[in-house]
Amino acid sequence: MPHSLPLITTLATAFGLALVLGVLAARLKLPALVGYLLAGIMLGPFTPGFVADAQLGHELAEIGVMLLMFGVGLHFSLDDLLAVRKIALPGAILQIAVATALGAGIAAAWDWSLGGALVFGLALSVASTVVLLRTLEAHGILDSMNGRIAVGWLVVEDLAMVLVLVLLPPLAGALGGDAPDAGAGSLWGTLALTLLKVSAFIALMLVGGRRVLPKLLWLVAGTGSRELFTLCVVAAAVSIAYGAAELFGVSFALGAFFAGMVLRESEFSHRAAEESLPLREAFAVLFFVSVGMLFDPRVLVEQPLQVLAVVGIIVVGKSIAAAALVLLLRYPLNTALIVSASLAQIGEFSFILAGLGVSLGLLPVEGQSLILAGALISIAVNPVVFKAAEPLQAWLGSHSRLARQLEHPADPLAELPMSTHERYLSGQVVLVGYGRVGRRIAQTLAERDIPYVVAERNRELVERLRADGGAAVSGDATDPAVLIQAHIARASMLVVAIPDTLDVRQMIATARTLNPTIETVVRTHNEEEAELLEREAAGKIFLGENELAHGMSRHVLERYGKAR
């Protein structure tokens, strides 16, 4: 039996060490990703002991990139992005510009080339979607307004970085990289050709892919074979990524992203995400391990001030810029702190961009090590930064008059206009939340000509409702001022269509203080929360699973009776 098995050796050591260090990181209340990066450092050539096969690690990392970006595409929702576009789009673009300027400025002070400084700044400007989603889920705010804004912000960042990955190779020569620079005419011609190829690939995926891939999933699902379905999903991701690179000169990352985005159009998208999740996460681990293998720990000893500067830009500079932009867009201090804490780290796109920059001769190797050091430290401290957001808000609120004003910024959407009809001011239904559930409730009320006032955190939804002639106020309904503006004191009913039980209890307390006879209707997805609310006499409680079971049972009994 042969003893030279580099692939098996690399996989065994990478998975085994990543598991041990990932568990250790989780025990220390750190993201497991920190453990994966540390495993790569220990397996890399810059630390003593066993050294894994770097070439194999690189190829496995490419598969990891494909599957990571495929997962991002599967979860990319244009509707979710459009719902927060007025804050996520300008906020993300301006924050990328500010962070890139900070990173490029400090790189220029170190006498780096223009191209190296630009790549370095861009790598520091984009946060990790993986880290963000796991952090928001851990704090139970992924589906909150603040969570949706943070996710939308990162989606814009990811899309911007996809564009950077496309444009950087043809621009490398002009920026001082290895690519030949044969003059302005050649540069513009190369750029035009690159954009033409990318446009052709995107058009092919949006027109042909939307028709073919969902039908292919349907056909394979009809076999009833789970392994064939999983194989189809993974084959689509890897094959499209490879084909995009070979035929259109598009990066693996972009090809896999569009494969996931197109598959999202299928009714099997949720199943595709579930079935491919174990494989995606396994290769994501290999990606982070391979990134760790590139890190030289000596940079922490030899260049501590540079590392400190990088961490400062990521954790402090980006956060302050993001918070300022959110406040300028008239969102409250709470939203500004959550978004800024969410962005105080860097991750997978930074690694991909750094690797591309080194391969193009733009970014020096020490720059890649500084980026990796910044990522490791920022990811490790991000849970602490996130937990500090709420105490910081409380401290600022008690010590700063300006902070109290920022928590409730002057906003014309925060109160009903003077021209609001009397029917919306007395005997109306106050509807908290205008998401998937709230929108359907509002539609039913409108069909029966029942007046209602919507209280919603998303200013863009409030603007849209008012433009359509509806009555709506912008703000967090846990704040008594928001319910007062919705005229809760004279309302007939409070309907809470958001799933957050803690917020619900505070809303009901405010409503009953101002209107002791008001009737309340609440939704929840958790039996324990439903029991808690019932004990506190929170009104009529609708548990999602119970209502679904009742509806299906009524249908079964009705059809069974007719069949008999």
Provide the residue ranges of all domains of the chain, joining segments of one domain with +.
6-398, 422-560
Predicted local confidence at residue 75, as pLDDT:
66
CA distance 304 to 302: 6
Domain 422-560: CATH superfamily is NAD(P)-binding Rossmann-like Domain (3.40.50.720)
CA distance 71 to 68: 5
Q: pLDDT truncated to tens, each residue of the chain (564 aa)? A: 455 577 788 888 888 998 999 899 888 877 787 888 888 888 888 888 787 777 777 777 777 777 777 776 776 666 666 667 778 888 889 989 999 999 999 999 999 988 899 999 999 998 887 777 767 766 767 666 777 788 778 878 877 887 788 788 888 877 777 754 444 456 677 667 777 877 787 788 777 777 787 788 788 888 878 888 888 888 888 888 888 778 777 667 677 877 887 777 666 677 777 777 777 778 778 878 887 887 788 888 888 999 999 999 999 998 898 888 888 887 777 788 888 888 888 877 888 888 888 888 888 888 888 998 898 888 878 888 888 877 777 777 666 666 565 565 555 666 777 778 888 888 899 999 888 788 899 999 999 999 999 998 777 788 888 888 888 888 778 888 888 888 888 899 999 888 766 678 888 888 888 998 898 888 877 777 777 777 777 678 887 777 888 888 888 888 877 666
**CA dist list (Å): 408 to 267, 434, 474:** 42, 21, 11
Predicted local confidence at residue 4, as pLDDT:
59
Which own/partner contact pairs does 501-505 have at CB distance under 8 Å and 24+ positions apart? 501/526, 501/529, 501/532, 501/533, 503/476, 503/477, 503/478, 504/533, 504/538, 505/533, 505/536, 505/538
Q: In terms of DSSP bridges, do strands 493-496 and 452-456 run parallel, antiparallel, or are they unpaired? A: unpaired
Q: Which amino acid is at 43?
A: L
First to last CA, the chain: 68
Task: Find out whether 175 and 114 touch, Cβ atoms under 8 Å.
Answer: yes
3 state DSSP class of 452: strand
Predicted local confidence at residue 100, as pLDDT:
92
CA distance 379 to 346: 7
Tell me, yes or no, if the pTM score tops 0.85: no
CB atoms within 10 A of CB 549: 11
**CA dist list (Å): 398 to 402, 405, 410:** 10, 12, 19
Predicted local confidence at residue 274, as pLDDT:
74
CA distance 453 to 432: 8
Say which CATH topology domain 6-398 has. Na+/H+ antiporter like fold (1.20.1530)
Q: Which residues contact 507 (CB under 8 A, 6 or more apart)?
A: 432, 477, 478, 483, 494, 496
- H or E segment and range at residue 165: helix 145-171
Task: Find out whether 213 and 263 touch, Cβ atoms under 8 Å.
Answer: yes
User: Rg of the chain over CA atoms, in angstroms?
Assistant: 26
Task: Find out whether 455 and 526 touch, Cβ atoms under 8 Å.
Answer: no
CB atoms within 10 A of CB 250: 25
Predicted local confidence at residue 1, as pLDDT:
44
* Tokens, residue 471: 């009555």
How many residues does this entry show for the chain?
564
Closest CA to 271 of 331, 214, 204: 214
Predicted local confidence at residue 404, as pLDDT:
60
Backbone angles phi, psi at 493, to 5 degrees: -155, 145
3 state DSSP class of 178: coil
